[in-house]
A = this chain, B = another copy of it.
Amino acid sequence: MSAEVSAFEYRLYPLSSLKSNQKKPPTIKDVAEKAGVSVGTVSRVLAKEVAVKAALRERVNQAMAELDYRVNIAARALRTNQIDVIGLILPDITNPFFSQLAKSIELQAVKRDHSVMLASSQGDSVIERSHVRAFLDRSVRGIVVIAATDNDFSESQSDVPIVSLDRRLGRYPLIATDHERGAALIADHLYGLGHRHIAYIAGPQDTEVGRLRKAGFVNRIKHLSAKGERVKLRIHHGKFDYGSGEQIARKLLKTTAGTQITAIAAASDQLAIGALRVARDLGLQVPADISITGFDDIDLAALVVPRLTTIRQQTDLLAECAMDMVFGSINKSRIKTIEGELVVRDSTAEARQ
C-alpha cells in the first residue's frame, strides 16, 4: 500500500521535473525554426547587423517575441570571450564616498547595457589582486578599481582594460580629482580667514591620495607663509575614517599647543566629522572657536551640524571618465584629472583673536 502511494507520487513528480519543472527556455534554434531561417540569421538579427533583409528581420523579431526568447549569455561569452559586465573593486562599500562612486559607476554601466560586479578588497592589496584575477577569469568587459593601497600591481598583459579611480592601482591609468589643488584651495580659504595656527589631519601616507592632499595643503601654506604672515602648522596622520578624526582631534585639542589652534583641516569629510564631534564634546563652538574643513563633499557634509566646508569631488564626472576610458580607444592616457570645487558652508569662519 505504501509502496503504491510512493510509486504514484513518483509518477506525478519524476525527479527530473522536480529539479526544474519549467520547460527549457527557447534557444536561437527554436527561433530559427519558427521564423523559417537559419540560426546564423537569427544571430545576425541579435547582433543588430544591418545586412539583414527587413523581411527576415521582421520574422525573426516576431518569433523571438512569441517565444519570449532570451539570449544565453554564457554561450555568447564562451564564443566571444567577453561578457557585458564591468568589475568594480573598492576597499569598502560602506565608505560614503566610495558608495557614491559605486552608484555613479553602476549608472554609467547601465547606460551602456552592462552590469557591474562588486568586490571589496577591504583595503588589502592581496585580496584586491585576487579579485582582479577573478574578474579576468570571467572575461569582464573592463575593470574599475579604487585601489586599496599603493603597490606595483600589474596583471599579465591582458585585453581587458583596467583603470583606477580615485586611488591609483599600479601603473594603470587613473581618473581622479586634483587632490593637490583641492587641498590648496582649502589652505587659501583658511589663510584668507586669518587662521595662523592650523592643524592638518592627514590621510594615510601609504596612499597617493593621502600624500597628494597633504602635499597640496602643506606646500600652499608654506608658500603663503613665505610671502605673508607666518603660519604655525601642526600635522597629524590617521586613516580617512570617522574614528581617526575623533581620536586625533581629541589628542590634539587637549594639549596646550592645541588650545592655540584656530583651524583644523582634515584630509577627508569623515575625519572632519570625527573632529567636529570632539570639538562639540570639549565645548568648543564651531566655527566661532575653531574652524574645521573636510574633503570629498559626501552627502553627509551638508547635514552635519554645522554644515561642513569642504572640497566637492564630482563623482558623476569621475565615473563617466573612468567608463569612457574602459570603453574608449586603446590609446589611454596615464592620468586624467578632474577639478575639485571649494564649497564654503558653516564650519569655517574668521579666526578668533
Number of copies of this kind of chain in the complex = 2
A335 at the interface (CB under 8 A from B): no
Query: Of B21, B77, B118, which is within 8 A of A102 by CB?
Result: B118
Contact A157–B22 (Cβ < 8 Å): yes
What range describes how many residues of A lie at the interface?
35 or more
A314 at the interface (CB under 8 A from B): no
Chain A interfacial positions (CB closer than 8 Å to B): 19-22, 70-75, 77-78, 81, 83, 85, 88, 92-94, 96, 99-100, 102-103, 106-107, 115-120, 133-134, 137-139, 156-159, 242, 246, 273-274, 276-277, 280, 299-300, 303-305
16 residue pairs of the A-B complex, CB under 8 angstroms, read: A20-B159, A21-B157, A22-B159, A72-B78, A73-B77, A73-B137, A74-B139, A94-B96, A94-B299, A115-B117, A115-B138, A116-B119, A117-B118, A274-B303, A280-B305, A304-B304
Residues of B within 8 A of A20 (CB): 159
Contact B115–A116 (Cβ < 8 Å): no
- Chain B, residue nearest A118 (CB): B118
Contact B273–A303 (Cβ < 8 Å): yes
- Chain B, residue nearest A72 (CB): B78
Query: Of B94, B138, B157, which is within 8 A of A99 by CB?
Result: B94
Residues of B within 8 A of A276 (CB): 305
Given contacts A119-B106, A156-B22, A299-B242, contact A74 B77 (CB under 8 A): yes
Residues of B within 8 A of A133 (CB): 70
Contact A22–B158 (Cβ < 8 Å): yes
Complexed CA–CA distance, A117 and B114 (Å): 11
Complexed CA–CA distance, A348 and B96 (Å): 27
Given A85-B117, A93-B102, 5 more pairs with CB closer than 8 A: A22-B157, A72-B137, A92-B103, A96-B99, A117-B117
CB distance from A292 to the nearest CB of B (A): 13
CB distance from A217 to the nearest CB of B (A): 24
Residues of B within 8 A of A299 (CB): 94, 242
Residues of B within 8 A of A300 (CB): 300
CB distance from A25 to the nearest CB of B (A): 9
Complexed CA–CA distance, A302 and B18 (Å): 49
Most B CB contacts (10 A, CB to CB) among A20, A99, A156 go to: A99
Complexed CA–CA distance, A158 and B93 (Å): 30
Complexed CA–CA distance, A92 and B103 (Å): 8
Complexed CA–CA distance, A134 and B106 (Å): 15
- Chain B, residue nearest A78 (CB): B74
Complexed CA–CA distance, A325 and B89 (Å): 26
Complexed CA–CA distance, A299 and B103 (Å): 19
Complexed CA–CA distance, A57 and B71 (Å): 37
